[in-house]
C-alpha cells in the first residue's frame, strides 16, 4: 500500500442515533453498545498508528457519526461532499473547520451535484464512484475534476443490498479489491484483482485497510481467513449497532 495514514477524524454517536436514516430492518440500535463499539473503533485506529481527533456529537444530525460521508480526502486535498439526503446536508458545515485545519486545501461539491463520501472507493490513483440514491453523475464528475484522478462510475441503484458503493466494494491495497457478488463482475472492475466476499458475509465487504492492519466487522470468519491467506492482518471489531443504521467500518472516520 503506497499511502500511510497518520490521522483520522471521528464523531461519536448521539443519544438519538436511532432517529437516523436506515433502509434495513435489524431493529433499533442500542446507544450504550454503539458508544462502546465506537470507542473500540477509535482505539483500533490508534493502535494502527493514527492520531484520532474526535469532533463533538451533533444531536441535530443523528447520522453524523457516519462522518466519512461529509468529505473525500486525498493527499493534500479535501473535497467537501454534498449529501444526497436532505436531512444530512447540514453535517458538512460541522466538519469544515476541522477538515480545513487538517488538510489545508479544501474544495466542495456544489448543486446540482450530490455526493456521499461512502460512494467513493479510492484504488491507488483511480476512483470508483457509485451512482446511488445519494450520489449523482454530476457529483461524481465534480469530484473527479477536483481530485484529478482517473475515475469510473458504477451504478448501484439496482443493487438493493447496499446503500453506498463502499458497502460492497473496497480497496485494501493498490492491487486488491474486495467486492460482493453483485459487483464483482462489473465491467468497471475488469482487469483488477477482486476478492469476492463469501455468500452470507456481504456486510463484511466494508473492511478498511489502515496501514498494516485491515479492520473487519466481527463475526465474519471467512472473509478474515481469505484476507489472511492474501497476507493481510485482519483486526475484527464489533459493528452490530452501526449495521442496524446502514453503517460500516469505513463510515465512522475520515482517514488521511
Phi, psi (rounded to 5 degrees) for 70:
-90, -15
- Which one of 38, 48, 123, 164 is the catalytic residue? 164
Q: Measured between alpha carbons, how far is 139 from 13 in angstroms, rounded to an integer? A: 27
Is the peptide bond preceding residue 81 cis, with omega within 30 degrees of 0? no
Q: Measured between alpha carbons, how far is 41 from 39 in angstroms, rounded to an integer? A: 5
DSSP string, 135-194: --HHHHHHHHHHH--EEEEEE-TT-TT-SSGGGTEEESSSSEEEE-HHHHT-GGGTTSEE
- Tell me if residue 121 is catalytic: no
Please count the other Cβ atoms lying within 10 Å of the Cβ belonging to residue 253.
27
- Tell me if residue 123 is catalytic: no
- Which one of 48, 121, 207, 251 is the catalytic residue? 251
Please count the other Cβ atoms lying within 10 Å of the Cβ belonging to residue 18.
18
Active site positions, annotated: 164, 251
Amino acid at each position: 500500500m503506497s499511502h500511510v495514514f497518520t490521522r483520522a477524524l471521528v464523531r461519536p454517536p448521539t443519544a438519538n442515533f436511532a432517529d437516523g436514516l436506515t433502509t434495513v430492518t435489524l431493529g433499533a440500535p442500542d446507544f450504550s453498545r454503539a458508544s462502546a463499539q465506537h470507542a473500540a473503533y477509535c482505539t483500533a485506529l490508534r493502535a494502527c498508528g493514527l492520531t484520532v481527533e474526535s469532533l463533538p456529537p451533533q444531536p441535530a444530525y443523528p447520522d453524523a457519526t457516519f462522518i466519512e460521508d461529509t468529505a473525500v480526502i486525498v493527499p493534500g486535498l479535501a473535497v467537501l461532499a454534498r449529501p444526497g439526503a436532505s436531512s444530512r446536508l447540514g453535517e458538512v458545515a460541522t466538519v469544515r473547520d476541522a477538515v480545513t485545519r487538517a488538510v489545508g486545501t479544501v474544495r466542495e461539491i456544489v448543486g446540482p451535484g450530490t455526493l456521499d463520501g461512502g460512494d467513493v472507493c479510492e484504488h491507488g490513483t483511480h476512483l470508483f464512484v457509485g451512482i446511488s440514491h445519494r450520489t449523482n453523475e454530476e457529483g461524481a464528475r465534480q469530484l473527479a475534476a477536483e481530485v484529478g484522478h482517473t475515475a469510473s462510475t458504477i451504478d448501484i441503484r439496482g443493487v438493493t443490498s447496499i446503500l453506498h458503493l463502499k458497502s460492497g466494494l473496497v480497496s485494501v491495497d493498490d492491487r486488491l479489491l474486495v467486492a460482493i457478488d453483485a459487483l464483482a463482475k462489473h465491467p468497471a472492475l475488469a482487469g483488477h484483482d477482486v476478492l469476492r466476499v463469501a455468500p452470507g458475509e456481504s456486510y463484511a465487504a466494508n473492511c478498511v485497510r489502515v496501514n498494516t492492519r485491515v479492520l473487519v466487522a466481527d463475526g465474519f470468519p471467512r472473509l478474515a481467513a481469505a484476507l489472511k491467506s492474501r497476507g493481510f492482518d485482519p483486526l475484527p471489531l464489533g459493528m452490530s449497532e452501526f449495521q442496524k443504521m446502514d453503517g460500516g467500518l469505513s463510515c465512522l472516520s475520515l482517514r488521511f
